[in-house]
Every structure is written in structure tokens, then in C-alpha cells.
């Protein structure tokens, strides 16, 4: 059992609305100042100069690793926005040591991720495979447009099978043209920013989605895994089977049906969500993450996004001893779109319960693998 | 060191548990395997337990994770 250092140092978060894009970095630094930083994470709209924000944070916290990415919206425990930025400082009382690296995925995922993890291992003088997963946790920010999330997560698992890497895919305010990730002063539009922290306090992982099984189970009988397309469910055209299950015709399948009725891969009674994106050639369905042939999945019905989020965060706070010092959160863009449609942004911020937090709306979430329509988070205790 | 090939998912699961030692370590590994193969090593479907193709697939996923069982 690792020794825990009690601390009264709190995590500090900052938010900038983006009303003055050139001043976002200064605004964040002003909101975060006065903290003995162990690590810094920031999330900014593509409307903001992310490289400048990164530089200003690196200059303000030269002793701490800084990672970040572009978003499809960002939030703290006080405010949410699109077009702005959020950031969080994990102080040295929460994070004893930390190291970050940027994996450039342009020339191959495996070597890049392994190389970055080796760099982190050298900096921290540890072997990630052997560390106590109750003491070390990783963050991973992956560019959101190259479909590399599954493999990045697999390589992370191969290198550190017992350790959690939690994170999300960078966004670009739904333009789908370029997403960036940052580590220190380095930027990549086709990369992954990795951060490993040695926590001085207990922490837990949140994986919350607002769905329950609808009572229809399917087996994937034909799929193009690399393209994330399912061609057949139960031996029949996937779009036809799915449309029948949700009470629609294929022509009627649209974002509303897809968002309310994703598929869930059930693991120990909990759904790991795979979200449909579009019908392909009138018979297949393209998803936002891979589903393999032979997998059994359940059709899901949506439930109460805010109530479920609040309950998951409260449960996490209980797990870390009843009081949280801070959190970093990764919330799916499809959940943000539901929040847009139902005017739920303030209730979402309120559901965080005042825990100092920075997070962003993602193009995909990571924890042990790649998932959709989910909130993933790391909640730190005291 | 294991010298024979696992003949079933049950066998693989017990070898993995022995290798990991700590029972709480099983959870993340089982989840990673399920996300990669669709097979739940903790509660496999009866028809999967001795299916040699399924056993080989899970065995390969575990090997990639660093567990040569």
C-alpha cells in the first residue's frame, strides 16, 4: 500500500469565455496563479491560438508539464462555453511528480506511443508496467480526426495493462477540419499528448453514460473494423435491423435516433457505448468507434444525462473519501449536443458539485479503450 | 512459466489470475481483452469456453498485453 500524503492544497481551475481570443492565455494564467503546480492541463477552442496559450502556461509554470488540446466546447465547475478555454492546475500536494510527452502519430502509432511512454518512464524513473495503479494515473489527449484512438489505447494497454489512461479526443467546434494536441511548446494535428502523474492523494475514475438496455440484443456478423462500419447485425443488413429496432425506416434514421439509441457493449452489466454516425450505402452503419465481428451488443435507451452525471460524480467523491480536491473531465460532443437541445449546460456545470474542474467536449472518450457518448474523468481526493 | 497451451477460457482465466496475483488487477485486463475480442474472460458464453478459435484469439490478446499464458 502506498503512503498517502495529506494535503490541504486544492486544485485550481480557470475559464476564459474567449470574448477576447488574444487574451485567453493571460486570463487563464491569472486565474491559476499562486499554485505550486505539479501538472497543468488546458482545453481551448480552435478559435483561440492554442500554441500561444500553451506558451503562456509553460512560461507561468516552468516546473510543471503542460498538456492540452482543442475542443468542441470547454467547461469548469463554474462555467461552460464554446469559443473559449478551460484549464486546471494540479498542485504538488495532489500530484507529487508528473511527466508528459507528445506522440507524433504521422509515421505510425505503435512506435510513437511507445517512444513517448519510454520518455515518461525515463523522466519519472519508473516502469509503467510495474507501477501501483492506485498511485499512478495517465491522461491521454488524442487528435480527433484520424481515427487512431483504438490503437493508441491498445498500445497504452500493452505498455501499462493495469494502469488507467483517461482522456478524450480533441475537437474543433464541429468543423471537422483540424484538431490539435499540445505538450509543452510542441503541437501536433496528428498526435497524442500523454501525461502521467504520481498522485499524492487517492483518486478514482468516472465513466458515466446515460443509457439503459432497451431489451434488444444483436450480434455483429459482418463489419469493417478499420472503417468502423457494421455491415450486418444478426446476419441481416445492419441499417435495416437497427431501423426496425428503433421503430423507424432506414430513410428516417437521423441524428435523433442515433443519439437516443446507440449500441452498448455490456461489460459486467455496464454499457460501453458505440454511437452510430450515419447509414452507409443504404445497408451498413458507420459508428464513432470500432465494433468487432462476433461482438454482442445491446440497443440502448437514453436516460437522464444530468441526474446520471450528478450521481456518478457523487459516487466518485464518496470513493475518494467524501471530499474531492479536483477533477479533470472529458465529455462527449454528442452529450453536449443533447445539452444544447435541452438547455442543460448550467445543470451540467452544477452537477460537478463545485469540485475544481477543467474539462472539454470531445470527439471521443478514452479509458481502457475508445468509447462514445460518455463522460470520463479523474476525480482526486484529499 | 507455463509450458502447455491453454485449452479453455477457464484455464486461461486461472492462469491469468495466477500471473496477476492481486484479484483487483483482473478487472482492467479483462475489460481490455473484451474491448479487443468481444470475449468476457470472467463470464464467457458456454459455447466459447472450449472453442479453440476463441481461446486462441483471447490468448493472442493477452500476449499482446504482455501475458504469455
pLDDT at B2: 54
Cα separation, B54 vs B10, in Å, equals 12
Q: What is the pLDDT of residue A1?
A: 41
Q: How many CB pairs under 8 A join A and B?
A: 46
Give the CB-side neighbour count of residue A312, counting CA atoms within 13 A. Answer: 23
A162 neighbourhood in chain B, CB within 8 Å: 25, 28-29
- CB of B29 within 8 Å of a chain A CB? The answer is yes
Closest residue in A to B20 (Cα) is A162
Pairing of strands A186-188, A37-44: unpaired
Q: Give B63→chain A minimum CA distance, Å.
A: 9
Q: Note the pLDDT of residue B3.
A: 63
Nearest CA in chain A to B42: A268
d(Cα B55, Cα A189) in Å, to the nearest integer?
Answer: 39
pLDDT for the residue A78: 97
Residues near B45 by beta carbon (within 8 Å), at least 6 away in sequence: none
Residue B44 carries which DSSP code? -
B32 touches chain A (CB under 8 A): yes
> Which of A266, A288, A257, A284 is closest to A275 using CA atoms?
A288
**C-alpha cell read off for A289:** 468507434
Question: Which pLDDT does position A3 carry in this prediction?
Answer: 44
pLDDT over 80 at B1, yes or no: no
Q: Which residues make Cβ contacts (< 8 Å) with residue A139, sequence separation at least 6? A: A41, A67, A165, A166, A167, A193, A194, A195, A196, A197, A328, A378
3-state secondary structure chain A: CCCCCCCCCCCEEEEECCCCHHHHHHHHHHHHCCCCEEEEEEEECCCCCHHHHHHHHHHHCCCCCEEEEECCCEEECCCEECCCEEEEEEECCCEEEEEEEEEEHHHCHHHHHHHHHHHHHHHHCCCHHHCCCCCEEEEEEECCCCCCHHHHHHHHHHHCCCCCEEEEECCCCCCCCCCCEEECCEEECCEEEEEEEEECCCEEEEEECCEEEEEEEEEEEEEECCCCEEEEECCEEHHHHHHHHHCCCHHHCCHHHHHHCCEEEEECCEEEEECEEEEECCCEEEECCCCCCCCEEEEEEECCHHHHHHHHHHHHHHHCCCCCCEEEEEEEHHHHHHHHHHCCHHHHHHHCCCCCEEEEEECCEEECCEECCCEEEEEECC
* Claim: this prediction has a pTM higher than 0.80: yes
Sorted by sequence, the CB contacts under 8 Å of residue A189 that are 6+ apart come out as: A143, A178, A179, A180
Q: How far is B66 from chain A (nearest CA, A)?
A: 6
Query: CA A109, A141, A99: angle at the middle one, nearest 5?
Result: 90
Contact B25 A268 (CB under 8 A): no
Give residues with Cβ within 8 angstroms of A244, minimum separation 6: none
Report mean pLDDT in 10-residue bins for chain A, 382 residues: 49 94 95 93 97 97 97 98 97 96 97 98 98 97 96 98 98 97 98 98 98 97 96 98 94 92 95 97 96 95 98 98 97 97 97 98 98 98 94
Q: How many whole angstroms separate alpha carbon A371 and alpha carbon A228?
A: 12
What confidence score (pLDDT) does residue A4 get? 41
Cα–Cα distance for residue pair A317/A334, rounded to 1 Å: 25
Three-state DSSP class for residue B3: coil
What string of H, E and C letters represents the secondary structure of A111-160?
A: HHHHHHHHHHHHHHCCCHHHCCCCCEEEEEEECCCCCCHHHHHHHHHHHC
Q: pLDDT tens, A116-132?
A: 999 999 999 999 999 99
Q: Is B64 on the interface with A (CB under 8 A)?
A: yes
Q: What is the ipTM of this complex?
A: 0.94
Phi, then psi, of A266 in degrees rounded to 5? -85, 125
Amino acid at each position: 500500500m502506498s503512503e498517502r500524503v495529506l494535503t490541504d492544497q486544492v486544485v485550481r481551475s480557470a475559464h476564459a469565455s474567449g470574448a477576447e481570443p488574444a487574451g485567453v492565455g493571460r486570463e487563464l494564467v491569472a486565474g491559476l496563479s499562486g499554485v505550486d503546480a505539479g501538472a497543468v492541463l488546458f482545453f481551448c477552442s480552435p478559435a483561440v491560438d492554442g500554441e500561444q496559450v500553451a506558451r503562456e502556461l509553460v512560461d507561468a509554470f516552468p516546473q510543471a508539464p503542460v498538456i492540452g488540446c482543442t475542443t468542441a466546447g470547454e467547461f469548469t465547475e463554474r462555467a461552460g462555453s464554446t469559443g473559449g478555454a478551460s484549464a486546471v492546475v494540479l498542485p504538488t500536494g495532489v500530484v507529487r511528480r508528473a511527466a508528459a510527452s507528445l506522440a507524433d502519430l504521422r509515421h505510425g502509432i505503435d512506435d510513437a506511443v511507445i517512444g513517448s511512454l519510454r520518455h515518461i518512464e525515463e523522466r519519472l524513473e519508473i516502469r509503467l508496467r510495474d507501477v501501483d495503479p492506485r498511485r499512478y494515473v495517465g491522461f491521454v489527449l488524442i487528435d480527433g480526426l484520424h481515427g487512431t484512438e483504438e490503437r493508441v489505447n491498445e498500445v497504452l494497454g500493452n505498455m501499462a495493462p493495469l494502469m488507467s489512461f483517461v482522456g478524450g479526443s480533441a475537437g474543433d467546434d464541429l468543423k471537422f477540419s483540424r484538431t490539435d494536441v499540445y505538450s509543452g511548446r510542441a503541437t501536433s494535428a496528428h498526435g497524442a499528448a500523454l501525461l502521467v502523474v504520481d498522485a499524492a492523494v487517492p483518486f478514482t475514475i468516472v465513466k458515466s453514460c446515460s443509457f439503459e438496455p432497451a431489451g434488444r440484443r444483436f450480434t455483429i456478423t459482418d463489419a469493417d473494423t478499420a472503417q468502423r462500419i457494421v455491415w450486418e447485425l444478426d446476419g441481416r443488413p445492419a441499417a435495416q435491423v437497427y431501423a426496425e429496432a428503433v421503430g423507424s425506416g432506414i430513410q428516417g434514421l437521423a441524428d435523433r435516433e442515433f443519439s437516443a439509441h446507440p449500441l452498448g457493449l455490456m461489460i459486467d452489466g455496464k454499457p460501453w457505448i458505440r454511437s452510430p454516425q450515419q447509414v452507409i450505402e443504404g445497408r451498413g452503419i458507420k459508428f464513432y468507434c470500432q465494433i468487432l465481428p462476433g461482438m454482442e451488443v445491446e440497443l440502448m435507451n437514453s436516460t437522464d444525462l444530468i441526474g446520471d452525471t450528478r450521481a456518478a460524480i457523487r459516487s466518485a467523491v464518496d470513493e475518494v473519501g467524501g471530499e474531492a480536491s479536483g477533477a479533470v473531465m472529458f465529455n462527449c460532443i454528442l452529450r453536449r449536443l443533447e445539452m444544447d437541445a435541452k438547455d442543460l449546460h448550467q445543470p451540467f456545470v452544477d452537477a460537478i458539485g463545485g469540485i475544481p474542474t477543467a474539462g472539454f467536449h470531445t470527439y471521443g472518450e478514452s479509458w481502457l479503450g475508445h468509447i462514445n457518448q460518455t463522460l470520463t474523468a479523474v476525480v482526486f481526493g484529499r | 512459466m507455463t509450458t502447455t497451451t491453454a485449452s479453455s477460457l477457464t484455464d486461461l482465466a486461472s492462469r491469468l489470475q495466477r500471473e496477476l496475483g492481486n484479484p483487483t488487477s483482473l478487472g482492467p485486463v479483462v475489460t481490455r481483452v473484451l474491448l479487443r475480442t468481444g470475449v468476457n474472460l470472467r463470464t464467457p458464453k458456454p459455447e466459447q469456453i472450449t472453442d479453440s478459435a476463441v481461446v486462441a484469439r483471447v490468448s493472442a490478446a493477452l500476449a499482446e498485453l504482455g501475458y504469455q499464458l
